[in-house]
Amino acid sequence: MGMIHGDDYRESLRRVKPEVYYMGEKIDSVADHPAFIPHINAAALTYDMAWAPEFEELLTTESHLTGEKINLFTHVHHSTNDLVQKVKALRALGQQTGSCFARCVGHDALNAIYSVTYDMDQKNGTEYHKSFVNFLKEVQKEDRFISGAMTDPKGDRSLPPSQQADADQYVHVVERKKDGIVIRGAKAHITGAVNALGHLVMPTTSLKEADADYAVCCYVPVDAPGLVHIFGRQTNDDRKCSGCLMDQGNPEYGIVGGEALVVFDDVFVPREQVFMCGEYDFAFELVERFATAHRQNYGGCKVGLADVLTGATYALAEVQGTATASHIRDKLVEMVHLAETLYCCSIACSCQGYALPAGNFMADPLLANVTKLNVTRYIYEMARIAQDIAGGLLATMPSELDWGNTKVGKYVDKYLKGVTDVPAETRMRLLRLIEGMTCGTALAESMHGAGSPQAQRIMIMRRSNWERKKRLAQKLAKIGEQPKLV
């Protein structure tokens, strides 16, 4: 098969029966619940756009395993061109959804695990890579949406996994059987968890020998016995269930990726779906390669969202009669400057990618971390500018229910109008879109998605080659030698 459509994806969600809770209630059908529909719509677009002639070249490629045409999100990169294509595709999707479309996390997990299983087999004579390649063929054949489940709750962060008072603060192996393993613990903030079909579980940090039980990587279907999903609250998420479409800002695709706490309560994993079990010395490589791939993304998808935000801010300035003011134009130019700077970072780390021993390509880790660290600053600055131009009504605007009320609606319509020939509804819709994109959950994801700023600083510290920089300076300063006078 190789590629499916968005409706096929929706039907696949109806066929599985994961245990999902939201607002204290168990959800019967994820695909039909209003809290999840926007996230499902955004993910479904990754399927439908791959069939559209104008996006086909960006969102499809050829499988290096089968030679068949596949969706980009099931592909393992084999060139710097592949890495650049990914960034361009993410920007295009961000422009079309104005939201997180969730599939890139599982995509990055596929690429990281592909290379690390190969390295483990080369060193230890295991057969993880063979198992993973067979799994990858299934994912490509079914065009399966999977999540990447890396982040653990972590408990006391001053202690490693094996020294936690509660051993379950990190996912770990509690039993090894002939035909598989049993794992326990949880993964937090998992993007697209409730609307994925399965989770690729990975360790979240470097590990030592004492932490060997925590060195586990495996695939778990969403409806595996013992697996529980607890959907996270989001800014203004009550609006999705209240019938207020305008007040949602982006009712079709939502604001962020639909994160959840995923609990593994003694979940059995068959041997063929286990891709690391005890190889603690490879945990750091897996974390770094996944983090590099995921941080590479942010100058793509976030810039796509920034294009939408900049467009909304410009349109609102026109509606409010301020678009020709020089200070407004300067601020809009700054938004574009910041966005394109992030895009340059993602393109640069992609162009400077390199081949790993398994044959797949990884983006430049230093530049990928610079990309994400810049995101934690520039996206906030763009949001600040958008809120500045929008004005105070962004925070105080009445609900669409008041606008539609037979008694007071005429006042809302009268006093929220900007320029004469544009209805108040246009201004209200733009304000709600900007509100959703610049307040609360969306900004927090820009800060902590793919790792918090300190995680990027640590990686930059490790990759900066301080000694070489020092030698360059010492050479020019003639340290340890007598300068020659010309």
Type of residue numbered 209: E
- Asked if residue 121 lies in contact with residue 132, where contact means CB atoms within 8 angstroms, the answer is no
* Nearest in space to 41 (alpha carbons), one of 195, 248, 223, 237: 195
| Mean pLDDT value of segment 76-89 | 98
In the predicted structure, residue 241 carries a pLDDT above the cut 90? no
What token pair was written down for 427? 């201004």
What tens digit of pLDDT does each residue of 20-36 get? 999 999 999 999 999 99
Q: What is the DSSP letter of 190?
A: E
Task: Note the residue count of the chain.
Answer: 486
CA distance 208 to 476: 41
Rounded-to-integer distance, Cα 159 and Cα 164, Å = 6
For the annotated catalytic residues, the residue numbers are 100, 104, 191, 259, 294, 298, 301, 445
Q: CA separation (Å) from 398 to 160, 234, 421, 433, 451?
A: 49, 20, 21, 14, 36
Residue 11 has pLDDT above 70, yes or no: yes
Predicted confidence band at 465 (pLDDT cuts at 50, 70, 90)?
very high
In the block, residue with structure tokens 């990618």: 353
* C-alpha angle 14-51-257 in degrees, rounded to nearest 5: 50
**Cα(442)–Cα(289) distance, rounded to whole angstroms?**
25
Q: How confident is the model over 252-287, as pLDDT tens digits?
A: 999 888 899 999 999 999 999 999 999 999 999 999
Kind of pairing between the strands at 180-190 and 260-270? antiparallel
CA dihedral for 273, 278, 279, 281, sign (positive or negative): positive
Angle between helices 128-142 and 103-124 (to 10 degrees): 150
CA distances from 448 to 264, 287, 293, 345, 386 (A): 23, 16, 15, 18, 21
Over residues 141-170, mean pLDDT: 98
Note whether 150 and 202 are within 8 A (CB): yes
- Buried b vs exposed e over 403-434: b needs ≥16 C-beta within 10 Å? beeeeebeebeeebbbeeeeebebbbbbbbbb
Between these two residues, 308 and 241, which has the higher pLDDT value? 308
d(CA 404, CA 244): 11
Contacts of 436 (CB under 8 A, 6+ apart): 235, 236, 248, 249, 250, 255, 442
Q: Quick one: CA dihedral 383, 384, 387, 388, positive or negative?
A: negative
User: Exposed (0-12), middle (13-18) or buried (19+): which is 383, by Cβ within 10 Å?
Assistant: buried
Tokens coding 134: 């067979």
Contacts of 372-375 with C-beta under 8 Å, sequence gap 24+, read 372/295, 372/298, 372/450, 372/451, 372/456, 373/453, 373/456, 373/457, 373/460, 374/299, 374/341, 374/342, 374/345, 375/298, 375/299, 375/302, 375/342, 375/446
Tokens of 219: 């695939």
The model's pLDDT over 19-75, given as tens digits with 9 standing for 90+, comes to 999 999 999 999 999 999 999 999 999 999 999 999 999 999 999 999 999 999 999
Q: Structure pTM?
A: 0.96
Residue 196 has pLDDT above 70, yes or no: yes
Q: For the chain, list the domains and their CATH numbers.
A: 286-471 (1.20.140.10)
77 or 486, higher pLDDT: 77
